[in-house]
A = this chain, B = another copy of it.
Amino acid sequence: MAPHNDSSPAENFTNGFNRMTLQSSGSSSLTVEDLTAELGSSYDSSTLDAPVSHVKRPLVPGVYVPTMCFFDKETEDVDTVTIAHHAVRLARAGITGLATQGSNGEAVHLTHSERQVVTATTRKALNEAGFSQMPIIVGCGAQSTREAVLLCRQAWQAGGDYALVLPPSYYAPLFAPSSQTILEFFNAVADASPIPIIIYNYPGAVNGMDMSSDIIVQLAQHPNIVGVKLTCGNTGKLNRVVAGTRKLSKEYDPKNPDFLVLAGSADFSIQALAAGGHGILAGLANIAPKACTKTIELWNQGKHTEAQEMQEVVSQGDWTAIQGGVVGVKAGLEKWAGYGGYCRSPLPRPTPEQSKNWKNGFKDLIMLEKSL
């Protein structure tokens, strides 16, 4: 954690580069050639210049949206046109920032080169629409420390501003006691990453591994670890993390905290704010960016009754998103926004009945969204 203008990606990058000896020769070292290669021939090389003109985009309180990844309905190829359209639509709705390569972005369905295409396309679309200051968070979790670092480097090259990192879990039973392995993993990645790290606590995605408030606060002391997304839904933990990390700051400015604490789901937006949280990074905002933003604004303006009423509509809509997941949210977008398509195989395409139920499940929320 550090005042953001203190973090120098280039510098960290070099440190990390040396520390991880990623450039060392040998049969499997990851050279710049590898990296370029991984980006693939289909990758718009112009984005490779992005880092050069890499401007600092602060991580401030608000609503961050883990964008969907869209695919051609026939070939399942990445649909960059829709990805760009969706990103701009969200930006115009007034959200604070975007996140690529999350569960909603089907990161686990993409190759490294495709991930680059998605992030670079999003960055480019935002810039061209006049949102060059809007930050992009990129999912960079991996099982090995070096692949996580590689993903952070690739995210930076594609124009990402922050890396959202899940803890490794595949070999969890073999980890060192008291989460020592988790601490070392995050510190090593933060040391080597060219962009600041946001911890991602989502037990459902990592075999139930749930990071404690103690560990998160401990990791927050690293100058290149600047926030956390709590998808566990544990607002007691969120409250402890806010209190514990605030104490690390010389002076705490709730409008620009050194360590940003975000709720991972829209159905506990004001609950998170009540506990001292700073906002949300939530999939439902793909469907209703204005409603999610307005709910938080109302609360921050002290209009708690109105905020609570709006939260109830958001929470009910989120229940549909939680049950339908990325398949349901895409069906909702298709029905209410005219685009969305399907997830990559093997994720199923919704049955007519499912589509109908999901459309109805989002109805009240959409009515609210359109009224804003």
Query: CA of A324 to CA of B174 in the docked complex: distance in angstroms?
Result: 7
Stretch at the interface among A19-27, A93-101, A156-164: A19-27
Q: Is A207 an interface residue (CB 8 A)?
A: yes
Stretch at the interface among A50-58, A269-277, A285-293: A269-277
Contact A345 B304 (CB under 8 A): no
Stretch at the interface among A6-14, A72-80, A122-130, A332-340: A72-80
Contact A325 B111 (CB under 8 A): no
**Residue of chain B at shortest CB distance from A145:** B345
Known contacts being A235-B235, A346-B188, is A274 close to B271, with CB within 8 Å?
Answer: yes
**Residue of chain B at shortest CB distance from A109:** B144
Contact A312 B344 (CB under 8 A): no
Number of copies of this chain that the complex holds: 4
> Which residue in B175, B235, B243, B319 is a CB contact (below 8 Å) of A312?
B243
> Which residue in B41, B242, B348 is a CB contact (below 8 Å) of A34?
B41
Query: CA of A21 to CA of B72 in the docked complex: distance in angstroms?
Result: 12
Q: Is A223 an interface residue (CB 8 A)?
A: no
Contact A117 B27 (CB under 8 A): yes
**Residue of chain B at shortest CB distance from A234:** B233
Contact A236 B233 (CB under 8 A): yes
Q: Is A268 an interface residue (CB 8 A)?
A: yes
Contact B276 A274 (CB under 8 A): no
Given contacts A21-B74, A21-B75, A171-B325, 15 further A-B contacts (CB under 8 A): A28-B111, A34-B113, A37-B38, A103-B170, A108-B170, A168-B346, A171-B326, A171-B327, A173-B325, A174-B326, A174-B327, A174-B328, A184-B345, A234-B268, A240-B267
